[in-house]
């Protein structure tokens, strides 16, 4: 699902001013925060350039899945905005795993490339895990390499998956305290739920991870001061899952029955009980690319 060119964000932002009077949840504005991060990075990159350091990112797409093409396009646009040189590799669907791994190997050895991104999913005849492992951990700007994941789990330095890293930035830059708070994450995927839980733990939250086998999900969720929803089911989480005053982060992106973007959270219901909430679109979505850019700048500083 793609989160851009969506006019409703302006409407949502206009509504923000009236929300306090109506006792509705404060909106956590991911569009604004991601722009701040990109502007900070732009300055950093300009300073690095003036010292003769140019940053390069390789973006590889295999096949021409339309959603992937839009994502790749957005990533290239963000590189351009920040001042990162992006090298694009648009490979045909029938590219073999060996050919892809050979290209990654060359890019691993190329000093002008600091970040390597393979747009997922790759075609079925290519093994995703093998591809991820082929990327040098020093250039693993998506944070998916087992070494990056392992480093996160034992509290060592390494690249962190962009969506959960973006959520931590959203919370911090919106002055939401994590330390000592009850944090519940719905979902345990490798790219969102698990790294999210580890990051909240790193920030000294008290963390519970839930999934499809969790008993009495509602009761567990109602304990949360911070509820991160990455369940992958449109509007599943309504007010009955949310404690009065909780902060709710909605990771989901879907289209509803009217073809409008929506999240995993039933926004209209939850905004009545939460103290703060991320909208969809304009919440978590824009943060993912901002954090990818951040990882690429970090990679160039290694």
- 36 part of the active site: no
Residue with smaller CB distance to ligand NDP, 138 or 188: 188
Binding status of residue 195 toward ligand NDP by CB under 6 A: no
Binding status of residue 184 toward ligand NDP by CB under 6 A: no
Contact with ligand NDP (CB under 6 A) among 60, 104, 191, 274: 191
Q: For residue 170, which of 158, 182, 178 has the smallest C-alpha distance?
A: 178
Residue with smaller CB distance to ligand NDP, 100 or 192: 192
Binding status of residue 61 toward ligand NDP by CB under 6 A: no
Q: Which of residues 204-223 bind ligand NDP (CB under 6 A)?
A: 210-214, 217
Using omega within 30 degrees of 0 as the cis cutoff, is the peptide bond preceding 281 cis?
yes
CB contact burial 7-28 (16+ within 10 A = b; e otherwise): eebeebeeeeeeeeeeebbbbb
Query: Rounded distance, CA 279 to CA 6, Å?
Result: 12
- 75 part of the active site: yes
Binding status of residue 279 toward ligand NDP by CB under 6 A: no
Query: Rounded distance, CA 75 to CA 90, Å?
Result: 14
Contact with ligand NDP (CB under 6 A) among 285, 290, 292, 300: 285
Which listed residue (29, 31, 119, 235) is catalytic? Answer: 119
Is the Cα dihedral 219, 265, 73, 35 positive or negative?
A: negative
Range in contact with ligand NDP (rule: CB under 6 A) among 54-62, 124-132, 231-239, 271-279: 231-239
- 119 part of the active site: yes
Query: Rounded distance, CA 249 to CA 49, Å?
Result: 36
Only one residue has tokens 């909605």, namely 250
Backbone angles phi, psi at 260, to 5 degrees: -95, 150
Contact with ligand NDP (CB under 6 A) among 115, 164, 193, 205: 193
Q: Which of residues 247-266 bind ligand NDP (CB under 6 A)?
A: 251-253, 264
Q: Which residues are the active-site residues? A: 75, 119, 142
């Amino acid at each position: 699902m793609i989160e851009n060119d969506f006019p409703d964000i302006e409407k949502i932002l206009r509504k923000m001013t009236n929300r306090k009077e109506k006792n509705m949840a404060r909106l956590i504005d991911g569009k604004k925060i991601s722009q701040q991060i990109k502007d900070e990075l732009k300055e950093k990159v300009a300073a690095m350039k003036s010292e003769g350091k140019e940053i390069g990112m390789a973006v590889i797409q295999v096949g021409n899945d339309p959603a992937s093409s839009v994502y790749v396009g957005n990533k290239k646009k963000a590189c351009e905005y920040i001042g990162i040189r992006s090298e694009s590799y648009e490979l045909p669907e029938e590219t073999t795993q060996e050919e892809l791994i050979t290209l990654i190997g060359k890019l691993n050895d190329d000093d002008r490339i600091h970040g390597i991104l393979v747009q997922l999913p790759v075609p079925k005849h290519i093994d995703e895990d093998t591809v991820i492992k082929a990327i040098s951990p020093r250039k693993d700007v998506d944070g998916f390499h087992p070494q990056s994941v392992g480093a996160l789990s034992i509290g060592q330095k390494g690249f962190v998956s962009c969506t959960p890293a973006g959520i931590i930035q959203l919370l911090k830059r919106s002055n939401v305290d994590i330390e000592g708070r009850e944090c519940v994450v719905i979902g345990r995927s490798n790219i969102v739920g698990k790294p999210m839980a580890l990051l909240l733990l790193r920030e000294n939250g008290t963390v519970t991870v839930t999934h499809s086998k969790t008993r009495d999900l509602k009761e567990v969720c109602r304990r949360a001061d911070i509820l991160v929803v990455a369940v992958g089911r449109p509007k599943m989480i309504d007010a009955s899952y949310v404690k009065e005053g909780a902060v709710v982060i909605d990771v989901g992106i879907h289209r509803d029955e009217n073809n409008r973007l929506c999240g995993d959270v039933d926004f209209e219901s939850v905004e009545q009980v939460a103290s703060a909430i991320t909208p969809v679109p304009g919440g978590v979505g824009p943060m993912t690319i901002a954090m990818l850019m951040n990882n690429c700048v970090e990679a160039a500083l290694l």
